[in-house]
A and B are shown apart, each in its own frame.
With several copies, the nearest count.
Chain A
Amino acid sequence: MPDGFSAGDTAFVLISAALVMVMTPGLAFFYGGMVRAKSTLNMLAMSFLSLGIVSVLWVLYGYSLSFGPDSFAGLIGNLDFLGMRGIGLNELTGSIPVTAFAVFQLMFAIITPALISGAIADRAKFAAWGLFIALWVTIVYFPVAHWVFFFDNGNGGWLGDRNGVIDFAGGTAVHINAGVAGLALCLVLGKRVGFKKDPMRPHSLPLVMLGSGLLWFGWFGFNAGSALAANGVAAMAVVNTQVATGAALVGWLIYEKLKHGAFTTLGAASGAVAGLVAITPACGSVSPLGAVAIGLIAGAVCAAAVSLKYRWGFDDSLDVVGVHAVGGAIGSLLIGLFATGGVGQTAKGLFYGGGLGQLGKQAMGVAVVAAYSFVLSWLLAKAVDKLVGFRVAEEVEVAGIDQAEHAESAYDFSAVGAGLARALPGLGGVASAPVAGSAEKPVEKPAEKTEVDA
């Protein structure tokens, strides 16, 4: 390998890429456990589909648009790396192979659209969702990643490299971006049947906890891996990620106990995620004490934010806005207060004698990404809706989208065996008769009719 190469750094980034990859299944479980049993599979599949589509697009043109040499004013990369060709096997970026950096960043491009899916749980046509992912990463994510993550000493992305907006691991590009897109989508698709009336409680909290556990685990790769080296900054990012997350978990539980009278496990899981989101942009700028403060604030504020949807009446079903948009904004802005100047960046925050300068830059970054993401996401969602229709029929939603879109039900705990599978809900078979669109062939006319019998 060429000079400047570090096997240690490469090992760290490659393993980090694997850790970030596992966050997407983790997210799938986190979301999948929160919906009702009858739409669990659709929720899981929405995240897994992103693993499929984005991986392919990344090779074709995604990497090039995001990290190809800047083509204009730090807005977008060029097409030098179409098909990921022209990247030498041992060519380096910093101390690691370019391919290692490319696959690490691919994992970010995968989870970002997956995060959006929580806002439109139970009601989106699967094919339409796939189309949306492809359009959204192309028109929203790839450019924004270029703005924020592409550094080329001053000739890189306009937010990060050119204007000093600090986003260590994606508070703006990933979380605000996805959170605001989620808001746009749930406005375009409208509310679920029974929103505000039915409880719509999580059907499996252990699945939610599994998701949050895997997210927490993978997030160490997400945050520390963003140092692109196994060094002191990476180590500090691990410390900050852990303690901010723990503090946010505590913060959410306390808020909840005071407000609603119980410590819920959903609160613990959500608090952890809120902390992970908030520390994402800041983990390379703050001290452990600063991280604890950011965590406590993010936990409590997000706990309050998730009930806004009931007040304002938008059905952000799984709180993508309340956790990712709000949490991402909190973390990005608090850098302006807590940045010590002594970790990954030299910029100081207000509390460390840095004045309001950095806070201003952070606010600018938050505003720009939020605005761009909201407008474009709304337009794309409208376009998809016009083209193929984004939302399933009400009867499909009531019967459970899993049957209609995937011809499956998530569970069958039948004692009798699959002969009774879908038919005995009491047995756990999350039954609901097949619905037009599922992989079914009626035996005879009357059978046809039964297709909506549920």
Chain B
Amino acid sequence: MKLITAVIKPYRLDEVKAALQAFGVHGLTVTEASGYGRQRGHTEVYRGAEYTVDLVPKIRIEVLVEDEDADDLIDVLVKAARTGKIGDGKVWSVPVDTAVRVRTGERGPDAL
């Protein structure tokens, strides 16, 4: 099994959720995050003071999938999250040893 993590722009969340539904993934976990990368940051002037802000808000999505679906899922995620503008975010995948559904105790694929 794989854990796919995606860091995206907040307002793309709806599209991503829709795309995942369509793809047949029916569960995901979302956390709020913020990050920076290429865009590095910008300075602001506020009430006569000047300073740098370098973190921008992001949404972090985690999805557990079976190995064979991982690559397609990544493509789906990337397509749904893309705006073509800098700061679109990253998607990565890590191997999962085992997953359990808390309610039933089912393990592996059945847990999804």
Residues of A within 8 A of B (CB): 196-201, 260, 264, 266-267, 306-307, 310, 398-399, 407-408, 415-417, 419-427, 429, 431-434, 438-444, 446-454
Question: Cα distance A443–B40 when bound, in Å?
Answer: 9
Query: Least Cβ distance of A194 to chain B in Å?
Result: 9
Query: Least Cβ distance of B107 to chain A in Å?
Result: 22
Question: Cα distance A419–B39 when bound, in Å?
Answer: 17
B57→A454 contact, CB < 8 A:
yes
Closest B residue to A431 by beta carbon equals B57
B39→A453 contact, CB < 8 A:
yes
Which positions 32-75 of chain B face chain A at CB distance < 8 Å?
A: 32-34, 38-57, 59
Query: Least Cβ distance of A201 to chain B in Å?
Result: 6
The residues of B that contact A432 with a CB separation of less than 8 Å are 10, 57
Does B86 interact with chain A (Cβ within 8 Å)? yes
The residues of B that contact A416 with a CB separation of less than 8 Å are 10-11, 13, 59
Q: What 1/0 mask marks residues of chain B from 7 to 23 whose CB sits below 8 Å from any chain A CB?
A: 00111011000000000
Closest A residue to B59 by beta carbon equals A416
B56's partner among A306, A433, A441, A442 (CB-CB below 8 A) is A433
A415→B32 contact, CB < 8 A:
yes
Question: Cα distance A454–B86 when bound, in Å?
Answer: 10
Residues of B within 8 A of A (CB): 9-11, 13-14, 30-34, 38-57, 59, 85-87
B38's partner among A310, A443, A446 (CB-CB below 8 A) is A446
Question: Cα distance A454–B52 when bound, in Å?
Answer: 17
B42→A425 contact, CB < 8 A:
no
The residues of B that contact A419 with a CB separation of less than 8 Å are 13-14
The residues of B that contact A447 with a CB separation of less than 8 Å are 39-42
B32→A427 contact, CB < 8 A:
yes
4 further A-B pairs in the complex, CB-CB below 8 A; given A307-B48, A416-B10, A447-B39: A425-B57, A439-B46, A440-B44, A443-B41
Provide 22 A-B residue pairs closer than 8 Å at the C-beta atoms, listed in order of the A residue. A196-B49, A197-B51, A260-B46, A416-B13, A417-B11, A420-B34, A423-B57, A424-B55, A426-B31, A429-B57, A431-B34, A432-B57, A438-B44, A439-B46, A440-B42, A440-B45, A441-B42, A441-B50, A447-B39, A450-B86, A453-B86, A454-B9
The residues of B that contact A199 with a CB separation of less than 8 Å are 44, 46, 49, 51, 53
A306→B47 contact, CB < 8 A:
yes
Q: Given contacts A423-B56, A443-B40, is CB(A453)–CB(B49) below 8 Å?
A: no
A266→B85 contact, CB < 8 A:
no
Question: Cα distance A424–B59 when bound, in Å?
Answer: 11
Question: Cα distance A428–B98 when bound, in Å?
Answer: 32
